Amino acid sequence: MRFISWNVNGLKNCVNNGEFEKTFEKLDADFFCIQEIKCSKKIEITGLEKYVQFWNFSEKRKGYSGTAIFSKKEPINVIYGIKDEYEQDLDKEGRIVTLEYPEFYLVNCYVPNSKLKRERYNYRLEFNEFFINYIEKLNFQKNVIICGDFNVANENIDICKNYRDNTLNNIGFSDEEKTSFKDLLNIGFIDTFRYYHPTYQKYSWWFSDTDRDGDIGWRLDYFLISEELRKNIRKADILDEINGSDHCPILLELKLEE
C-alpha cells in the first residue's frame, strides 16, 4: 500500500498552480493525506472519483489550518479531532483526521506551529501531550500509521547547518519540542524515513525558493508507524523534486494485507 502525506500550504493555490492534480495522478496513492488545506469547504479536484474523501475544516477560523484524507478504501470508522476524558473536542482547528481499518488506524495530523515569538508555544506543547495520549490509546487497540507536518526537526541531521547554528533552542528545534516528539516515538513508534535512511540528510520544508534551490531546509514531515509494522516497510522517501508548496510530499510504502 502506498501512503502520501503533503502539507500543501493552501489547497486552492496548489490546485490552481496545476501541481496538486498532476502530483496526485502521478503518485497514485492508496491513501493521500494533506495538511494546511486553508479552506472552509470541499474543493473540486480532478481524479478523486475513485476515492472516498474526509475533510476536517477549522471551526475556529475560516481558511485556516485543516486536514483531509483521500482514500481508495472505505474505512470502518472515521474520527475527527481528539477528545478529552469528558468527550470535549480538543481540536477546533481541523488538525486531525483518523481512519480506522480492520488491521490499523491511519492518523493524519498537522501539529501547531509555535510561531516566531512563541505566542503558540504552550498551546503546541499541550496539543502534543493530548496527541500522545490519543495515539497511545489507539496503539493499544491495533497498529497505527501516523503522518503529517509535525513542525519539528527531530535531530541535527534533520535541519540544515545554516539554520541549526542560528536556531538552537528556538521554534521547531527547541529542546521541549524535540523531547515531545521523542516522547511520541518512545511509546512504540518508528520514524520510517530515518529507519530506512539512517544517515541521509534530506528536507521536506524550505523557508524560500532560494533556500530550496540551495538545499537549505528542514525535515518537518514524517510517517511514524507502530513498532510491529517495522517488518512491513518497503519504501520511505521524501519527494523533494515535487513543487507546489513550501513543503514537498513524503512517501511510505507498506506491505499490508489487502
Annotated active-site positions, please? 110, 149
Smallest CA-to-CA distance from 27 within 239, 255, 220, 178 is with 239
Rounded to the nearest 5 percent, the helix, strand and coil shares of the chain are: 30, 25, 45
Spatial separation of the C-alpha atoms in residues 110 and 149, rounded to whole Å: 5
Q: Are 80 and 63 in contact (CB under 8 A)?
A: no
Query: Degrees (nearest 5) of the Cα angle 212, 217, 219?
Result: 125
Residues ≥6 apart with Cβ < 8 Å to 34: 5, 6, 7, 8, 11, 67, 68, 69, 70, 108
Q: How long is the chain?
A: 258
Q: Show the cell assigned to 69.
A: 484524507
The one-letter amino acid at 173: F
For residue 181, CA distances in Å to 122, 178, 194, 208, 233 come to 15, 5, 14, 25, 21
Task: Give the 3-state secondary structure of 88-118.
Answer: CECCCCCCEEEEECCCEEEEEEECCCCCCCC
103: left (phi over 0), alpha (psi -120 to 50) or beta: alpha
